[in-house]
Amino acid sequence: MTEIIESFETAQGNVFGDLLSARIKDKPLKIGLITLGFFEYWRMFPDTLKANVTADMTCVFGKLREYLNQEEIIWSGLIDTLDAAEAAGRELANQRVDLIVYVAGTYCPDYMAIQALEHVRHVPVVLFNTQHTNKINLGTSYENILRNSALIANLQLAATFRKMGWYPDLKVVVGSIGDTAAYEEMTKYLRAYKAYLSLKSTNIGVIGHVFRGMYDFEYDKTMIKGTLGPNIISIQVDHLLEQFTKAAEEDIRIIEAETKSRFNIVGLGEDDIYKSAKFYVALKNTLERFRLDALTLLGQHYVEQKTGTTSYLANTMMHEEGRYVVNTEGDVHGLIIMTLMNMLSGKVPAYAEWGEYDEELNALLMVHHGYANTEYAADRSTVKVNRSPEQWGLQGAGFGFEYTLQPGEVTISHLIIDAEGYKMLIVKGQALPVPQNIPCEEITAVVQLAMPIKTFLTSLIKEGFAHHCIIGYGDLTEELSTIADFMKIRKVIY
């Protein structure tokens, strides 16, 4: 008998007609390396020039493999004739490379690069302008000048690109063949591109809707898919509540015991902990059933009333496990930034709201509703589990975390769509040390900025960004800026 395929909305089994049966797994980037020399020079300097240029390009290949050890580098060796350029271009097209790193090893005419690149015109190009060392040799020979003459070739080629309308967003990196900073710059660019590509196959679930009156969070699924990349899948709240009802007692007890053993729990009853553990099982099963990578849950009122708890234990554990990214209040755009930061850094960032400012510290207090990776706590031994200070129709105390985030360099970001289209906020800051956790029954951070704080807030408000912000540790400003460029959206950088 033929199996009847139904929509995920109604099917009882685990095969759906409108969802892929398996998640699309991230694959290593295929990076095509094009390195050029010039056949004319080999006969003029037959003893060493070709060998030296080949050695230089081999060094570049080795450095790329070292820095990009999780990606696949495809190199056909030194191209020095038009036939070789044609063969390399065909091979890169057959390999379906995702991106090209182009390196001239000496001067070479632009027609050879164009011959190879015509086969892979749809992928971005990183032009690495390099030379043997980062110093001028005042006792040099003409042969050595040729060895370091890639700049002439690259200026010629980039000018030709401009005239032809090719690669308007050409990425250029300058450095010697052993320049660590140059390879780190390329690594950031490639990491950003990989995250941008991965976002296109990301499934984001939405349970409920944007919190009533938060027009800054409202979104258009078509605009998100067309501009930012991910798939937005609306999940009826009944699916989550069904999983809550069906949650296996054994699974609940495991999470309940882990929660009691890990955290200092203050003022919660056994039933509060049990229901929060049950919510974790339900949320995880929902994510797995519908092949989601991330999920935003309204939470307030309806779900909290129906389950008698919050999602904050579940969200915290999800963030610590790192497999799924979740948030609340229907903040889809914030969830996309969280997903990107997770791809870039390997850790789910914190989810916060802008708070009061301190002019002397030139800093802001950041606050949000009780969930984040507890590894971010300044002192994990002081992490406290308490009631939810905002009571949205709960039966009981709810569940929330209280601690202050550890000091360190942070990147703050969010997305919004306004009358001119999408734009991305990118802010670099410093989370300051706070001697004791702020006793407000919430997760907090004090973040210092470079710009005078009142000037920053004036600009932030006038720009019209959302009232939430995403806080990731480390400097991710360059990668996020690059992703905004790939998306072809505006960016506001502080």
Task: Output the domain CATH number for residue 433.
Answer: 3.40.275.10
Q: Per residue in 322-335, is it b (16+ CB within 10 Å) or e — as a string?
A: eebbbbbbbbbbbb
Confirm if 300 and 310 have CB atoms less than 8 A apart: no
**Which of 491, 488, 493, 494 is CA-nearest to residue 223?**
488
Same-domain status, 189 and 214 = no
Integer Rg of the chain from CA: 27
pLDDT for position 279? 96
Render pLDDT for 324-381 as a digit per residue (tens, 0 to 9).
Answer: 999 988 899 999 999 999 999 999 999 999 999 999 999 999 998 779 999 999 999 9
List the end-to-end C-alpha distance of the chain, in Å, as a whole number: 62
pLDDT for position 78? 97
pLDDT for position 392? 66
d(CA 125, CA 102) in angstroms, rounded, equals 7
Residue 5 within any structural domain of the chain: no
Same-domain status, 384 and 455 = yes
Quick one: residue 430, left, alpha or beta (phi over 0 = left, psi -120 to 50 = alpha)?
Answer: beta
d(CA 112, CA 74) in angstroms, rounded, equals 18
Residue 3 within any structural domain of the chain: no
Q: Which residue do the tokens 């709810």 mark?
A: 398
The answer on pLDDT for 39 being more than 80 is yes
Q: Hey, which bits of 59-209 come out as E strands?
A: 72-79, 99-104, 125-129, 171-174, 203-207
Residue 20 within any structural domain of the chain: no
Classify residue 380 by its DSSP letter.
G
Judged by DSSP in three states, 294 sits in strand
Q: What's at 149, amino acid-wise?
A: S
The answer on pLDDT for 1 being more than 60 is no
At 212, the pLDDT band (50, 70, 90 cuts) reads: confident
Chosen domain end from 153, 173, 198: 198
pLDDT for position 2? 64
Question: How many structural domains is the chain composed of?
Answer: 2
**Which of 400, 402, 397, 405 is CA-nearest to residue 439?**
402
Confirm if 373 and 384 have CB atoms less than 8 A apart: no
Q: Which residue do the tokens 């400003």 mark?
A: 477
Render pLDDT for 387-427 as a digit per residue (tens, 0 to 9).
Answer: 887 776 667 777 889 999 999 999 999 999 999 999 999 99
Quick one: residue 280, left, alpha or beta (phi over 0 = left, psi -120 to 50 = alpha)?
Answer: alpha
Residue 383 within any structural domain of the chain: yes
Chosen domain end from 141, 176, 198: 198
The answer on pLDDT for 14 being more than 90 is no
> β-strands 350-358, 468-473: how paired?
antiparallel
**Which of 389, 345, 350, 349 is CA-nearest to residue 366?**
350
CA angle 172-343-457, nearest 5°?
A: 80
pLDDT for position 217? 83
Residue 15 within any structural domain of the chain: no
Residue 63's domain comprises: 30-198
Same-domain status, 316 and 452 = yes
Same-domain status, 189 and 216 = no
**Which of 306, 266, 263, 301 is CA-nearest to residue 282?**
306
pLDDT for position 318? 95
Mean pLDDT of all residues belonging to the chain: 93
Same-domain status, 169 and 106 = yes
Render pLDDT for 253-309 as a digit per residue (tens, 0 to 9).
Answer: 999 999 999 999 998 999 999 999 999 999 999 999 999 999 999 877 788 888 888
Residue 24 within any structural domain of the chain: no
The stretch 469-475 carries a mean pLDDT of 97
Q: Which residue do the tokens 């932030």 mark?
A: 460
